[in-house]
């Protein structure tokens, strides 16, 4: 297969996307946390069951506030809850966009690699035909191809 994807973004759209991402980065500077790996291990994200638990406590607070603990700062709870919902929704949208961008990049990479292989084959042919400049080009490109075949190890290796 050749040219399995085409770039559908105009230069204006690319520039606009870059500007929008820069705006997002600027907006979130000093407003979002960046935990270290150790901190992530300490705090951990709550699992789905615990999210349901938090949601149920939130629901009770909204519908039966007399049953809520007086020891909880409910104003802060509500701020945290709404911020978590916002972050989760935005993150899901951004992850979906990132997945599609990555998939598109993979297809463009594939197209470029296939075309590069075709160019290398043409260069080898042209070198063989004695066309000037192709001997050097093939020598230069040859470094990207490993001449030794790797033989997969068998899982049935006897010891």
pLDDT by 10s per residue, the chain, length 159 = 678 888 899 999 999 999 999 999 999 999 999 999 999 889 878 899 999 999 999 999 999 999 999 999 999 999 999 999 999 999 999 999 999 999 999 999 999 999 999 999 999 999 999 999 999 999 999 999 987 766 666 665 554
Does residue 126 form part of some domain? yes
Quick check: is 54 in a domain? yes
Q: How far apart are CA 102 and CA 21, in angstroms?
A: 16
Does residue 159 form part of some domain?
Answer: no
Structural domain includes residue 98: yes
Q: Which pair of structure tokens corresponds to residue 82?
A: 């709404």
3-state helix, strand, coil in the chain (%, to 5): 70, 0, 30
Residue 14 in domain: no
- How much is the pTM? 0.75
Does residue 2 form part of some domain? no
State the residue range of the domain holding 71: 44-143
**Assigned domain for 150 exists:** no
Rounded Cα gap, residues 56 and 50, in angstroms: 10
Q: List, in order, residues 6 or more apart from 78 with CB less than 8 Å away.
A: 61
- How many distinct structural domains can be found in the chain? 1
Closest Cα to residue 6, out of 110, 122, 98, 94?
110
Q: Please report whether residue 32 resides in a domain.
A: no
């Amino acid at each position: 297969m050749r040219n399995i994807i085409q770039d559908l973004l105009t230069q204006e759209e690319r520039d606009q996307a870059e500007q929008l991402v820069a705006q997002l980065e600027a907006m979130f500077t000093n407003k979002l946390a960046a935990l270290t790996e150790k901190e992530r291990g300490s705090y951990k994200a709550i699992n789905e069951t615990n999210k349901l638990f938090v949601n149920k406590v939130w629901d009770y607070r909204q519908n039966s506030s007399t049953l809520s603990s007086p020891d909880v700062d409910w104003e802060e709870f509500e701020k945290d809850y709404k911020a978590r919902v916002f972050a989760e929704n935005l993150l899901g949208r951004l992850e979906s966009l990132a997945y599609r961008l990555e998939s598109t990049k993979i297809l463009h990479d594939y197209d470029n690699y296939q075309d590069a292989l075709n160019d290398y084959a043409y260069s080898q042919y042209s070198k063989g035909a004695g066309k000037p400049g192709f001997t050097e080009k093939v020598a230069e490109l040859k470094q990207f191809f490993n001449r030794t075949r790797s033989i997969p190890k068998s899982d049935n290796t006897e010891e």
